[in-house]
Amino acid sequence: MFEKIDFTAYNKIDTFEFEGRVYQIENRVIYNADRTVLIYCDPEKEGEFTAPEGLKKIGYKAFARTKLSYIVFKNGLESIGEKAFEGFDDISHTVVMPKTVCEISPSAFTTIKSRLPFMRRHGKIKPLATADMQEIYLKKP
């Protein structure tokens, strides 16, 4: 839906309307109007990304094929949508999620093949167990 946006035109927080809905864009990332849903990240965005406070949901294919190498979500994140991290692998990408995540779509990490995601619990790294998570990593930190 937003694949054709020229992100170079947006270099600060901005609001725009598309198909009757209001969105916010900041640093090449698109959110709903109240910034509770992350809808789309520019696939050309590189480096690290820390989600803003108040984010509750990661939308469908929000980070698909992005070049980001390190992503951190803060407490309050609850839901991860379908194919949210499509194209990620556990060699070049790290995603850190808080223990507030209670819903992860079965297809959110479908391209992770070589290892299970890991979590950090009480200072120890263990394979992902969604019922008892603190921080989740797509590669062993």
Q: What average pLDDT is seen over the chain?
A: 76
The pLDDT value recorded for residue 120 is: 46
pLDDT at 1 over 50: yes
What's the structural domain count of the chain?
Answer: 1
The pLDDT value recorded for residue 92 is: 66
The pLDDT value recorded for residue 89 is: 63
Question: Average of pLDDT values for 106-130?
Answer: 53
Q: Is residue 18 part of a domain?
A: yes
pLDDT at 29 over 90: yes
Q: Is residue 2 part of a domain?
A: no
Tokens of 71: 């992503």
> Rounded to two decimals, what is the model's pTM?
0.76
The pLDDT value recorded for residue 50 is: 93
Q: Is residue 1 part of a domain?
A: no
pLDDT band of residue 54 (cuts 50, 70, 90) is very high
Measure the CA–CA gap between 5 and 23, rounded to whole angstroms: 13
pLDDT at 140 over 70: no
The pLDDT value recorded for residue 7 is: 63
> Residue 117: which CATH number?
3.80.10
Owning domain of residue 96: 7-137
The pLDDT value recorded for residue 34 is: 94
45 against 130, higher pLDDT: 45
pLDDT band of residue 108 (cuts 50, 70, 90) is confident
The pLDDT value recorded for residue 43 is: 87
